[in-house]
Amino acid sequence: MRYVSTRSTPNVPGLPFCDILLDGLAPDGGLYLPEHYPSLTAETLAHWRTLLATEGYAAVAFEVLDLFVDDIPDADLRAICERAYASEVFGDPVVPVQPLSDGVWLAKLSEGPTAAFKDMAMQLLGQLFEYELARRDETLTILGATSGDTGSAAEYAMRGRRGITVFMLSPQGRMSPFQQAQMFSLDDPHIVNLAVEGVFDDCQDLVKAVMGDAAFKAAHNLGAVNSINWGRVVAQVVYYVVSYLRVTTALDAAGEDVTRVSFAVPTGNFGNICAAHVAREMGLPIDALILATNENNVLDEFFRTGVYRVRSGAEETSSPSMDISKASNFERFVYDLLGRDGVRTAELFGPVLREQGFFDLSGTPEFADARRRYGFVSGTSTHADRLATIRAVETADGVVIDPHTADAVKVAHDLRDAVAGPIIVTETALPVKFSATIVEALGREPERPAAFVGIEDLPRQVTDIPADAELLKRIIEEHP
């Protein structure tokens, strides 16, 4: 398996997995994708169903990843998966599923060290980085941006790993107090938190600007842990496979013969649902991909109208991890939508967006066929919707969900009649990370795991900076 950029010209030779793992962003500014998606068969899914029941999540993760990775020996890749998805990291089973009302299921992705779904990919990425750096006898400087959960998941996954230093950008005051405490309480010389004046999009732009300086990137061996890194996306493909297997197995045991499901995914940067798109392209039996946004509904607007319009700034909402107006991973889908035309993709995400602030595919045959070909439907949820959904789920099912998951549940119910099969909602985080919204919805604090008691009272390790790429470069250069 080889990888190409979403902005590459025809006949450009592909790169192996470990090269693009450490690279993050392609030199031409595009994002890496495999030259083709592997195809699943009914026999493969039946084998994985048995494997999940007998050997667990890590065994299935190895087999899924093995389809995409051919430059790590099988024994090593298997050991990496076993370390990343050990029961002491994620509990047992890894990614359990839970039925809610009206044919909706919850894929519980927040059982990891930082209580967010980002742990599912980040723990694997930490293992992969450490393995490959040791093999090459190199170091890596990770530059990332977070709107909430990516930062803490990355820092917890990378801390203490040999040869890795992390610089994590976050928007000043835009994360929940719990999210800030998780990141800023880490006291490690190789973890550097930088709070940027502005919104998440400003942080993301800084990462792209610094990564786009090829000489600086090479001099400091910069890599990425944001979902622009293909390693993040392919790791997330695994839990779509596993949650599909768990739900259909449970329904089969209950006497329901279900072969296809739909997924509802809350998203702002198109990373999580991009992995669902990849799984569907591989042949996982998915009817619809239900894309749920909050008030920052750039992606919902595209799937309704064909117009991708970057906003001047993201609105601050009660599902803050989705407060994004420039969806970096969306380029991967558009590349597929346009028949993998890298030249056309580069034009849309380069000069067209820079000059117009939007592009319009509404009149193209590709967009007209998008629902049938790729399964996407979409909707938007508001603060009032989140509160009502949190209350409704708690009343009907006795389950407290976080506001991002509530966005997905709300949109899933809105679109229930437009999709087939049970709907699996991908959980975003434990409710404790957004306690103010839970208190507003339910009148009480959410349950707090013992590991997180008093976290907001710990000393903070963070530096405030303006959105200045040259200043960021100096901070990286001067770090001991």
Over residues 300-332, the pLDDT tens digits come to 999 999 999 998 888 999 998 899 998 989 999
Choose the catalytic residue: 108, 118, 326, 410: 118
Q: What is the pLDDT of residue 228?
A: 83
**Would you say 258 and 244 are in contact if contact means Cβ atoms under 8 Å apart?**
no
**Would you say 263 and 420 are in contact if contact means Cβ atoms under 8 Å apart?**
no
pLDDT band at 295 (very low <50, low <70, confident <90, very high): very high
Per-residue pLDDT reduced to its tens digit, 112-157: 999 999 999 999 999 999 999 999 999 999 999 987 788 899 999 9
* Mean pLDDT score, 25-34: 93
Q: Say which residue the tokens 């970096």 belong to.
A: 328
pLDDT band at 480 (very low <50, low <70, confident <90, very high): confident
* Mean pLDDT score, 292-305: 97
**Would you say 172 and 195 are in contact if contact means Cβ atoms under 8 Å apart?**
yes
* Mean pLDDT score, 197-220: 91
Residue 392 CA to residue 252 CA, distance in Å, equals 27
Is residue 473 annotated as a catalytic residue, yes or no? no
CATH number of 97-112+233-442: 3.40.50.1100
pLDDT band at 176 (very low <50, low <70, confident <90, very high): confident
Q: What is the pLDDT of residue 121?
A: 95
Q: What is the pLDDT of residue 102?
A: 87
pTM: 0.93
Q: What percent of the chain has pLDDT over 90?
A: 84
* Mean pLDDT score, 78-103: 96
* Mean pLDDT score, 428-452: 94
The answer to whether residue 232 scores a pLDDT higher than 90 is yes
pLDDT band at 86 (very low <50, low <70, confident <90, very high): very high
* Mean pLDDT score, 202-231: 89
* Mean pLDDT score, 36-40: 97
Q: Say which residue the tokens 């200043």 belong to.
A: 471
Three-state secondary structure readout of the chain: CCEEECCCCCCCCCECHHHHHHHCCCCCCCCEEECCCCCCCHHHHHHHHHHHHHHCHHHHHHHHHHCCCCCCCHHHHHHHHHHHCCHHHHCCCCCCEEECCCCEEEECCCCCCCCECHHHHHHHHHHHHHHHHHHHCCCEEEEEECCCHHHHHHHHHHCCCCCEEEEEEEECCCCCHHHHHHHHCCCCCCEEEEEECCCHHHHHHHHHHHHCCHHHHHHHCEECCCCCCHHHHHHHHHHHHHHHHHHHHHHHHCCCCCCCEEEEEECCCCHHHHHHHHHHHHCCCEEEEEEEECCCCHHHHHHHHCEEECCCCCCCCCCHHHCCCCCCCHHHHHHHHCCCCHHHHHHHHHHHHHHHCEEECCCCHHHHCHHHHHCEEEEECCHHHHHHHHHHHHHHHCCCCCHHHHHHHHHHHHCHHHCCCCEEEECCECHHHHHHHHHHHHCCCCCCCHHHCCHHHCCCCCEEECCCHHHHHHHHHHCC
Per-residue pLDDT reduced to its tens digit, 331-384: 999 999 999 999 999 999 999 999 999 999 999 999 998 888 999 999 999 999
Per-residue pLDDT reduced to its tens digit, 152-175: 999 999 998 988 999 999 999 888
- Pairing of β 423-426 and β 261-266: parallel
Q: What is the pLDDT of residue 148?
A: 73
For the chain, the domains span 97-112+233-442
The answer to whether residue 227 scores a pLDDT higher than 80 is no
Residue 462 CA to residue 170 CA, distance in Å, equals 10
What is the token pair recorded at 320? 């803050």
Q: What is the pLDDT of residue 24?
A: 77
Q: What is the mean pLDDT of the chain?
A: 94
Helix 200-211 vs helix 469-478: crossing angle, to nearest 10:
70
* Mean pLDDT score, 276-298: 98
* Mean pLDDT score, 72-84: 98
Q: What is the pLDDT of residue 354?
A: 93
**Would you say 8 and 342 are in contact if contact means Cβ atoms under 8 Å apart?**
yes
Residue 295 CA to residue 45 CA, distance in Å, equals 37
Residue 336 CA to residue 345 CA, distance in Å, equals 9
